């Protein structure tokens, strides 16, 4: 797995209301809904570092498996028509991320493993 750097030049925004209305309230349901949505659909699942990462290993930080429920879920493009006002954002800045297949630890995810996902840290 390669750890990559993302230099985000402008903020990205999503609506929590859109995610709730579409039913994307947990990792498994969000990924299933996104798979069925249009190509322009996006979802942001947000965790606090402390709730997702175990520190102190000789090999460095490790992600908890299976994933705990996210602290917030937001989306854009999941619903037809106009989206609700954006209320969650990823501000411009520098982020670490990995790009990989969806983790099998997400219970109930029905993907076939061919979809690529970007996971930010």
Residue 19 has pLDDT above 80, yes or no: yes
Residue where the block lists tokens 């992600």: 63
Helix (H, G, I), strand (E, B) or coil at 34: helix
Q: DSSP for 72-96?
A: EEEEESSSSSPPPPP-EEE-SEEEE
Distance CA 114, CA 100 (A): 10
Model confidence pLDDT, tens digit, residues 78-121 = 877 767 778 888 889 988 776 655 555 554 444 444 444 455 54
Distance CA 37, CA 20 (A): 15
Distance CA 104, CA 35 (A): 15
């Amino acid at each position: 797995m390669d750890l990559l750097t993302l230099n985000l030049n402008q903020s990205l925004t999503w609506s929590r209301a859109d995610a709730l209305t579409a039913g994307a309230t947990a990792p498994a349901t969000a990924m299933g809904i996104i798979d069925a949505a249009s190509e322009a659909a996006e979802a942001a699942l947000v965790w606090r570092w402390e709730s997702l990462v175990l520190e102190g290993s000789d090999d460095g930080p490790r992600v908890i498996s299976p994933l705990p429920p996210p602290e917030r879920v937001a989306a854009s493009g999941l619903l037809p028509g106009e989206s609700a006002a954006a209320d969650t954002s990823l501000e411009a800045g520098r982020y670490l991320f990995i790009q990989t297949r969806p983790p099998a630890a997400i219970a109930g995810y029905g993907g076939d493993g061919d979809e690529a996902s970007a996971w930010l840290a």
